[in-house]
Structure 1
Amino acid sequence: MRIVVTGGAGFIGSHFVRTVLEQGYPGMGGGRVTGDAVVVLDAFTYAGRIENLDPVRDDPRLRVERGDIRDPQRVTEVLTGADLVVHCAAETHVDRSITGAADFVTTNVVGTQVLLQAALDLGVGRFVHVSTDEVYGSIEDGSWAETEPLEPNSPYSAAKAGSDLLVRSYHRTHGLDTVITRCSNNYGPHQFPEKVVPLFVTRLLLGRTVPLYGDGGNVRDWLHVDDHCRGIALAAATGRPGEIYNIGGGTELSNRELTGRLLAAVGAGEEMIERVPDRKGHDRRYAVDWSKIRDELGYAPRVPFEEGLASTVAWYRENRDWWEALQR
């Protein structure tokens, strides 16, 4: 089996690549994959870093290709011979999408269409599209099932919703074997320090204050990247063609509660919190119903939040050379 992972040098993609090569995933060849088994396609923009692949860089089963998913010729070259595409490449930071949406539209929407067309033309066996719970919008109570309408509220989530709909259309119109996954908020090692967990941890380790939006009452469900990637692998191996699977972590926290836990983890006090104006269009609460992937594919999160958060903080503390140069 040859797997192409787009965005495979980013946070989620690189974790998937490292795990599939070092440990294997059930139904995806496991440790028995040989030859040119995993191909990374990454544009190596600010968040895609070759260092994320250092543990497997010398593995003969890995091939790393630089390329933009918006480039049809380059995409065709890389996808030729692929059995499975795991599409992680995307512009993902909400704040950046608010100040400049163009790259989010072209990368997330146009780039996904280019990949889908190449997968169709080349006869790729399966296309797994890694999406986000943010496409559903905000929910006051309960949780979103996969059948809920899409009501994105930021340019980022709108672009991801557009890519989701394109994936659906290629399945319904052309019969391409596609699966969409929608995850809750990820955390873990190797995450670029613009997202809240690594941003707060690295700032606190440098003795800087952390910016807390508004009243801090916005609620998110937290999912360790290892659990997320295992969910992606299950969807890739045994998900039903054309289906959508929510992947949740099972730990809901307000941003204020999360900040308190991060302060405690690095031994800092509340004086390190800097209150800042709320983000434009800030969704109040996200929550996904992940019973479908549990019942159909046997998924359940395995990393307890306290354990995962502690190991994440420890990773940033022990790998300052990875992130200190990124601090402005």
Structure 2
Amino acid sequence: MKLIITGAGGTLGQAVVTAALRRCELPVVASTSEPHLAYVDRLSMQGAGESADRVKLSVVDRFSLLQEGTLSAGDVVIHCAFPKNVTDPSDFAQGMRYHAQLVQAAAKARILKFVNVSSQSVYPRARVHPALETDSVECYDRYSAAKYGGELLTQIGLESGTWINARLASLIGRGLEKRLVTRLIFRAISGGALELDASESRFGLLDVRDAAELLITIALHSTGRDVATVNVGTGNAIDLVTLAQCVRDRVGYRKGSWVEITQTANSVPFTNSTLNCSLLEDVYGVSESRSLEDTIDWIIGAY
């Protein structure tokens, strides 16, 4: 029996491996498209090296998981792997093909549990209330289509009770430079005003380290009650102005650089990425998370 983490070279995957090495007594297999020694070095720099002596870590090429005999009964898979560029038709197709092949290999090996990492993006973008697991699905771009397609491949290919689609809130943290929070932080550190669209959009955010801890909790859950789909987040919501104010205050406190916040006319459609995470708390008993201020401070420390 072992814990297998795909996409282990990505930001979320690395965080999951780090959490697994700290919390899990099982052998940990990190599957990545770039299985080289530098990967282990990065994990050590993140603190995983402190527990590497008590938990065996293997770093393997992602395609090795498709070979017969690699996966076995009793294994648990956390599937973080995802196409690097969903706008590239070839990369998109290759990523979906790998997902289907991995599910097929997992079914053949009769693994214990398959946790498929999905996203809140499968829900309607302009939803009025925090999304529930029972809400309708809308695929409005290739990213959401790929995530929902991955859910369907998982559901169709594996026996009921052996798989879970974990729909993550919008991730924030180090290594996520294209995300809104990091872009606001970088702008504030550079001394530029935080120029906001006067939108009333709402955001549900999740520290990537908390996401990793929650995925480990779901993967190792053994009380006999799992669910097919679960929202993974804090359940909290924040608007753009409050978010910008928090960034401004933390950057000002940490860097001594205080910037203005300005608003322009509303030209961006309303969006809502919030999740109702009551099922997560009910089934898996988790509710604690890092504060937004803690996450912003962590990101600031990288600059």
Aligned to 1:228, which of 200, 211, 226? 211
Over the aligned positions, Cα root-mean-square deviation in angstroms equals 3.4
Contact 1:9–1:53 (Cα < 8 Å) also in 2: no
**1:326 alignment counterpart:** none
Aligned to 1:38, which of 23, 28, 32? 28
For structure 2, list consecutive stretches of 5 or more residues without a partner in the other structure: none
Work out the CA distance in 1 between the residues paired with 2:106 and 2:274.
32
**2:66 alignment counterpart:** 75
Letter paired with 1:80: L
**1:325 alignment counterpart:** none
Q: Trace 1:281-320 onto structure 2 (pairs within 5 A).
A: 284-314=271-301, 316-317=302-303
Contact 2:204–2:237 (Cα < 8 Å) also in 1: yes
1:2–1:110 distance in 2 versus 1, CA, 3 Å? same
Work out the CA distance in 1 between the residues paired with 2:238 and 2:275.
14
Identity %: 22
Work out the CA distance in 2 between the residues paired with 1:113 and 1:146.
23
Aligned to 1:106, which of 78, 90, 94? 94
Work out the CA distance in 1 between the residues paired with 2:225 and 2:270.
31
1:80–1:196 distance in 2 versus 1, CA, 3 Å? same
Deviation track 1:19-41 (CA, whole Å, cap 9, x = no partner) reads 2212x0xxxxx3x44xxx11111
Contact 2:202–2:272 (Cα < 8 Å) also in 1: yes
Deviation track 1:133-158 (CA, whole Å, cap 9, x = no partner) reads 11112244222111112112121111
Please report how far the alpha carbon of residue 240 of structure 1 lies from its aligned counterpart in structure 2 after TM superposition: 4.1
**1:324 alignment counterpart:** none
Work out the CA distance in 2 between the residues paired with 1:275 and 1:6.
42
- Confirm whether residue 254 of structure 1 aligns to residue 239 of structure 2: yes
Q: Trace 1:104-183 onto structure 2 (pairs within 5 A).
A: 104-107=92-95, 109-171=96-158, 174-175=159-160, 177-183=162-168
Contact 1:168–1:242 (Cα < 8 Å) also in 2: no
Aligned to 1:90, which of 67, 75, 82? 82
Work out the CA distance in 1 between the residues paired with 2:262 and 2:75.
48
- TM-score, structure 1 as length reference: 0.75
For structure 1, list consecutive stretches of 5 or more residues without a partner in the other structure: 25-29, 318-328
| SS of corresponding position for 2:204 | strand
Work out the CA distance in 2 between the residues paired with 1:210 and 1:75.
50
Letter paired with 1:160: K
Work out the CA distance in 1 between the residues paired with 2:262 and 2:34.
33
Please report how far the alpha carbon of residue 286 of structure 1 lies from its aligned counterpart in structure 2 after TM superposition: 1.5
Corresponding residue pairs, total: 289
Please report how far the alpha carbon of residue 278 of structure 1 lies from its aligned counterpart in structure 2 after TM superposition: 7.0
Contact 2:124–2:136 (Cα < 8 Å) also in 1: no
